[in-house]
């Protein structure tokens, strides 16, 4: 019997012994007073990697996006958002509740927005119109299959935002996956943004945490909003140490996750359940279209020790991550073939 394999998400990873050791050895202080040396190091490292002036350690990607929305808009503004974006679907309505903005949803093709459609959606503020203030992009795009928005598209969109006086916030929960998959540094993607957030708790393998990055003055405003939302934390150098460890050791290895996801996708060829071309994973996700209801298939997988998430009536998601090795990958493939 193979050990259980959890491929519901890349959030399920557990900190390694080496990461826990780094956490135990962290120097600590009170981060609300900005004197936790390990948090300060992590924030400096995040600013350096993204090429931004400053960064802020935040408990979650959701809170990062909430802070970004609050700091880029005033109530009643309009925000352009992919209809399939995490911020649209999975953040419990926070644009409406926390930022009191209108969301205008756009379509994307495999996660890639259409520059012309975005341009046409921008409304100037008038006596009648709310005024479009912010464009939010998601890279990699989770629901589109972990797809990458190409750098050129981001460059076009950023130019458009600058022309029309919009800010651009990147939900880069998995921007390190995009960077590794394309061999383009995160800082190049970050150049096409005013602010961005990335998650430590996804493929990078930390127990918790996100970094919100932007200009120094913007991050000072963001710190107040973090406090308001209850995200001011104290001796969190322990968690920041995990982040520093991950940025040092867990970035390049994302290529292994991508290779394993591609292997799973390729091995589905000829089966009744399919991985459509469009979802051939450039990163760490495999979306499978099932002939039977996805909940039945996921149950069959669970009975054989493989946990994954149905994401639609006939759609399943498998996410590779640092606790899934080549043996696990081979096992996943043989079980998928067995139950097909
Ligand atoms: C996970 C995720 C978030 C939110 O992160 P949490 O830390 O779970 O709040 C935001 N955006 C995307 C694309 C994500 O995958």
Per-residue pLDDT of 222-256, as tens digits, reads 999 999 999 999 999 999 999 999 999 999 999 99
Which residues have CB under 8 Å from 207's CB, separation 6+?
Answer: 14, 15, 201, 239, 242
In this model, does residue 278 exceed pLDDT 70? Answer: no
In this model, does residue 3 exceed pLDDT 90? Answer: no
Give buried/exposed letters for 1-35 (b at 16+ CB in 10 A, else e): eeeebbbebbbebebbeebbebbeebebbebeeee
**Cβ–Cβ < 8 Å for 27, 38:** yes
Per-residue pLDDT of 96-124, as tens digits, reads 999 999 999 999 999 999 999 999 999 99
Q: Residue 220: what are its φ and ψ, rounded to 5°?
A: -60, -40
For ligand 1, the distance from its centroid to the CA atom of residue 43, given in whole angstroms, is: 19
For ligand 1, the distance from its centroid to the CA atom of residue 129, given in whole angstroms, is: 31
Atom of ligand 1 nearest to the CA of 62: 9
For ligand 1, the distance from its centroid to the CA atom of residue 146, given in whole angstroms, is: 13
In this model, does residue 86 exceed pLDDT 90? Answer: yes
DSSP string, 90-148: SSTTHHHHTS--EEEEE-EETTEEPHHHHHHH-----SS---EEEEEEESSBTTTTSBP
């Amino acid at each position: 019997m193979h050990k259980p394999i959890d491929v519901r998400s890349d959030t399920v990873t557990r900190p390694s012994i080496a990461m826990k050791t780094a956490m135990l050895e962290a120097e600590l202080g009170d981060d609300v007073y900005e004197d936790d040396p390990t948090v300060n190091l992590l924030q400096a490292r995040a600013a350096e990697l993204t090429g931004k002036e400053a960064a802020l350690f935040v408990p979650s990607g959701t809170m990062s996006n909430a802070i970004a929305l609050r700091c880029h808009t005033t109530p009643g503004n309009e925000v352009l958002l992919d209809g399939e974006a995490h911020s649209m679907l999975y953040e419990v309505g926070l644009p409406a509740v926390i930022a009191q903005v209108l969301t205008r949803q756009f379509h994307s093709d495999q996660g890639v927005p259409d520059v012309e459609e975005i341009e046409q959606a921008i409304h100037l503020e008038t006596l009648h119109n709310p005024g479009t203030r912010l464009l939010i992009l998601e890279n990699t795009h989770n629901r589109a299959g972990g797809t990458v928005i190409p750098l050129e598209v981001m460059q076009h969109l950023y130019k458009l935002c600058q022309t029309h006086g919009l800010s651009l916030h990147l939900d880069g929960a998995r921007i390190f996956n995009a960077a590794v998959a394309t061999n383009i540094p995160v800082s190049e993607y970050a150049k096409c943004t005013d602010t961005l957030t990335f998650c430590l708790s996804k493929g990078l393998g930390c127990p918790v945490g996100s970094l919100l990055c932007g200009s120094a003055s913007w991050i000072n405003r963001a710190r107040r909003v973090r406090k308001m939302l209850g995200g001011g934390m104290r001796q969190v150098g322990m968690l920041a140490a995990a982040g520093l460890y991950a940025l040092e050791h867990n970035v390049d290895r994302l290529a292994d996750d991508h290779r394993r996801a591609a292997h799973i996708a390729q091995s589905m060829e000829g089966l009744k359940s399919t991985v459509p071309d469009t979802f051939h994973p450039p990163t760490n996700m495999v979306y499978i279209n099932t002939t039977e209801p996805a909940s039945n298939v996921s149950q069959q997988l669970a009975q054989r020790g493989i946990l994954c998430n149905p994401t639609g009536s006939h759609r399943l998601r498998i996410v590779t991550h640092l606790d899934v090795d080549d043996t696990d990958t081979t096992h996943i493939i043989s079980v998928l073939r067995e139950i097909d």
